[in-house]
Amino acid sequence: MKILSRIAMAAFAVAVAVLLVVVFRPLLAEQGALRAQRDALRAENARLEAQVAELRRKQEAFRTNPEYVEIVARREGLARADETVFDFSQATPEPVKEK
């Protein structure tokens, strides 16, 4: 009887172990996927925080540095009211004719 009782307890322990593996294995896989997603979101958050810091730096430069404003305006093709803009970027030069 004792041996039968031990075999039954061992079988019960194995059954519980198998049940635990069956139940928790998908949860462990999901946990791994969630950790990977969390890490990706943290990296994206860090990238966005750096972008916000850069935009704040530019915003401060616009507020406090007139030279920066002029540089950015000229990059955008703007000029002062008393200036004439000559745009040669679209012009194609005439070929030089040899005599």
- Check if the beta carbon of residue 62 is closer than 8 Å to that of residue 69: yes
* Extents of the domains making up the chain: 2-75
Asked whether the predicted pLDDT for residue 39 surpasses 80, the reply is: yes
Quick one: pLDDT band at residue 85, thresholds 50, 70, 90? Answer: confident
57-78 mean pLDDT: 93
Instruction: Give CA–CA dist 67/55, Å, rounded.
Output: 17
Instruction: Kindly report, residue by residue over 46-63, the tens digit of the pLDDT.
Output: 999 999 999 999 999 999
- pLDDT tens column, 6-35: 888 888 888 888 888 888 888 888 999 999
pTM above 0.75, yes or no: no
pLDDT(91) > 70: no
d(CA 3, CA 11): 12
